[in-house]
Amino acid sequence: MEQHLNEFHARGIEVAAISVDSPEASRKLIQSRGFHYPILSDPKAEVIRRYGVLHPKAGEDGQDIARPAEFLVASKGTIIWENLTESLIVRARPDAVLEAIDKLLGKQGR
């Protein structure tokens, strides 16, 4: 997503990630990878559970983690698009997300 941030921003879209990692671990990841979007910390997986993407005991030492997923959430908090997968290595490609955004913006307006 990082390489396409300008395209997301041009459409009025903000990118954010969420993880069970601590805020410090998320900051280190942002710095090491050069990300320019936030990685939010949800160590108790409360929000991750609400979105239905908890992957129980799939992390290091049997820790609960979030399974891969991408959501487009409208400003009022409604999920308007989602991509869910069971594989830790499969993610939505940025161009597929941008295509979904363009279709949604065409239907709903900005």
Expressed as residue numbers, the domain containing 82 is 2-108
19 has which bridge partners? 41
Longest dimension (CA), the chain: 46
- pTM, to two decimals: 0.77
Residue of 26, 2, 25 whose CA lies nearest to 15:
2
**How many CB atoms lie under 10 A from the CB of residue 45?**
20
For residue 87, what are the contacts with CB-CB under 8 A and spacing of at least 6? 68
What is the CATH number for 95?
3.40.30.10
Query: Could you list the pLDDT tens digit for every one of the 110 residues in the chain?
Result: 899 999 999 998 999 999 999 999 999 999 999 999 999 999 999 999 999 999 999 888 899 988 888 898 888 888 889 988 777 677 788 898 999 999 988 855 44
- The contacts of residue 73 (CB under 8 Å, 6+ apart) are 79, 80
How many domains does the chain divide into?
A: 1
